[in-house]
Amino acid sequence: MKLTTALGAIAVAGTMFAGVAQATDFNGAGASFPAPVYQAWGAKYKEKTGNALNYQSIGSGGGQNQIINRTVDFGASDAPVPAEKLEANKLLQFPTVIGAVVATFNLDGIKSGELKLTGPVLADIYMGKITKWDDKAIAELNPGVKLPSQAIVPVYRSDASGTSYIFTTYLSSVSADWKSKVGAATSVQWPAGSGAKGNEGIASNVKNLKGAIGYVEYIYASANNLVVTELKNKAGNFVAPTVDNFVEAAAAADWAGAKNFAASMIDTAGAKAWPIVSPTYVLLPKNPSNVEASREVMKFFSWAYGKDGAEIATGLHYIPLPASVVKQVEDAWKAEIKGPDGKPVL
């Protein structure tokens, strides 16, 4: 009797140990923009499979550095990495989710959706060319809205960030002046305004300062009920930042013509498309040293693209990838990620 219990205990302990040994934990680092959804996915995935994702949200540049040095199993970046750099470091780039950037402002008596702006006007505000809220350019777009003669204070991200990259890419695409004088990057030389750290920094700065305008990720704006503007899109319509309008922008993107999945969703042609939408990317080594972990990364994202993952993503106001793109990504995994023996990892 005693012996059997002991044997049973050993057997139980044995299976437990085996279970622990089989769990493949995998590490990722990089962009902060998709961090909430990666973490939510990771928690659910661990529940299902026992394999844990450890994701450090250290910024896109940091994510690129770490994957180039191979200190993590995958890197994450909001801005697509240039093709030569991907080639040189043997990295495969694929999108995971899509997000949007919105403009938030603080004016007495003007609520969400009551203020309409165009891309060029937004660019001129951030250039410091339009300095008062009752400027003719803004008043013309907003007949019937009582605009105060107040100084406009543009607020931008002081920390280099993917959000700034998306926002400045949009300003560059709608304003030639912005493109030539400032340009698009994770941090730029801002001609006017003041900088605040992170989405929360911009949001509280705008909230505290009458006449301020800032840009934040949509997930942040919706979670905190920020006052947002409407924007004029390429089709000439004023659109509100809603998930439906983001989806329309994402659907209009030219995936087929995009190299390394770097499809631009900025200012796409759809009738209701929100103009500032962008995917976020993951970087995976094509020659992984830890084959197990690399396989787990692909299994993880494959699951995240599925029904469960999409549900979590929409719950957090991200937009899941279109099914056709998911198929292309999965094909690319099979074709390009190879172990030391030259065989496909997945």
Partner 1 sequence: MDATVDGMRTGSALPISEAKGTGAVSDPIFVGLLWASGIFVLVLLGLIIAELFMGGLPALQHFGLEFVWSSAWNPVTENYGALVQIYGTLFSAVIAVVVALPLSFGIAFFLTEIAPPALKRPIGVAVQLLAAVPSIIFGMWGFFVIVPLMAAYVQPPLIDTFGQLPIIGLLFQGPPLGSGMFTAGLILAVMILPFITAMFVETLESVPPMLKESAYGVGGTTYEVYKNVSVPYGRTAMVGAVMLGLGRALGETMAVTFVIGNANRLSASLFAPGATIASTIANEFPEAPIGSLKLTSLLQLGFILFVISFIVLAVSRALVRSRMD
Check binding of 322 to partner 1 (CB under 8 A): no
Shortest CB 301 distance to partner 1, Å? 23
Binding residue count for partner 1, defined by CB under 8 A: 35
Check binding of 195 to partner 1 (CB under 8 A): yes
Shortest CB 58 distance to partner 1, Å? 6
Rounded Cα distance between 294 and 286, Å, is 9
Tokens 């942040």 correspond to what residue? 220
How many CB atoms are located within 10 Å of the residue 307 CB? 8
Check binding of 194 to partner 1 (CB under 8 A): yes
- CB half-sphere exposure, 4, CA atoms < 13 A: 1
Q: How far is CA 222 from the centre of its chain?
A: 15
Rounded Cα distance between 152 and 163, Å, is 21
| Span of 180-188, 275-283, 293-301, 310-318 interacting with partner 1 by CB under 8 A | 180-188
Spatial contact of 60 and 186, defined as CB atoms under 8 Å apart: yes
Show the site string, 32-61: x = touches partner 1 by CB under 8 A, - = not.
--------------------------xxxx
Check binding of 187 to partner 1 (CB under 8 A): yes
Taking the alpha carbons at both ends of the chain, their separation in whole angstroms is 47
Shortest CB 34 distance to partner 1, Å? 15
Task: For residue 5, give every residue at least 6 positions away whose Cβ sits within 8 Å of its Cβ, in sequence order, or none.
Answer: none
Check binding of 93 to partner 1 (CB under 8 A): no
Check binding of 201 to partner 1 (CB under 8 A): yes
Rounded Cα distance between 123 and 276, Å, is 13
Check binding of 206 to partner 1 (CB under 8 A): no
Check binding of 80 to partner 1 (CB under 8 A): no
Rounded Cα distance between 261 and 267, Å, is 17
Contacting partner 1 within 111-170 (CB under 8 A): 151, 153, 158-161
Give me the residues that bind partner 1 (CB under 8 A), please.
Answer: 58-62, 64-65, 68-69, 151, 153, 158-161, 182-190, 193-197, 201, 204-205, 208-209, 211
